[in-house]
Amino acid sequence: MSKTPQTKGRGDGLVAENRRSRREYAVEDTLEAGIMLVGSEVKSLRQGKANIAESYASVEDGGLYLINCDIPIYNAANRFNHEPKRKRKLLVSKRELAKLSQEVERAGRTIVPLKLYFNDRGIAKLLIGTATGRKSHDKREVEAKRDWQRQKARILKEG
């Protein structure tokens, strides 16, 4: 049996990526967190089904929780299935939790999920980042800069 996780034909274990977050937010710091899942959620993730585009993380009741993450039900689990948009606990150390909570309270930052993936040991991980929201003119600037970098690379490649 192969050691690489079976996720939609990708070899890197990536299940879901929040591409919109890089446009909507200026991500300052990232952190890898574990995620508490039930069996049917893991099976669904292994099929490559998940959506983290509308989700966010929040510090509540002395823990870090992923809210509004959509992991669709796994059909073969029938009555033992999970709730698709339930609140899921993220596993971080006490020190990391304290640091995240301070950044959210003092600096007014948001904890945004960036990627959901399986690591090389086959364990589900979530890459989260502390970020500040961008205004619409900032989004346009970033997009223009990215387009210019792409054009510049294309010109250098041709020349």
Whole-number Cα distances in Å, 137 to 24, 134, 145, 151: 11, 8, 12, 21
Q: What is the pTM for the complete model shown? A: 0.76
Dump pLDDT digits (tens) for 44-82.
Answer: 888 888 888 888 888 888 889 999 988 888 877 777 777
Residue 1 has pLDDT above 60, yes or no: no
pLDDT band at 27 (very low <50, low <70, confident <90, very high): confident
Residue 95 has pLDDT above 90, yes or no: yes
Coil, strand or helix at 42: helix
- CATH entry, 14-134, from 3.90.1720.10, 2.40.280.10, 3.40.1380.10, 2.40.40.20: 2.40.280.10
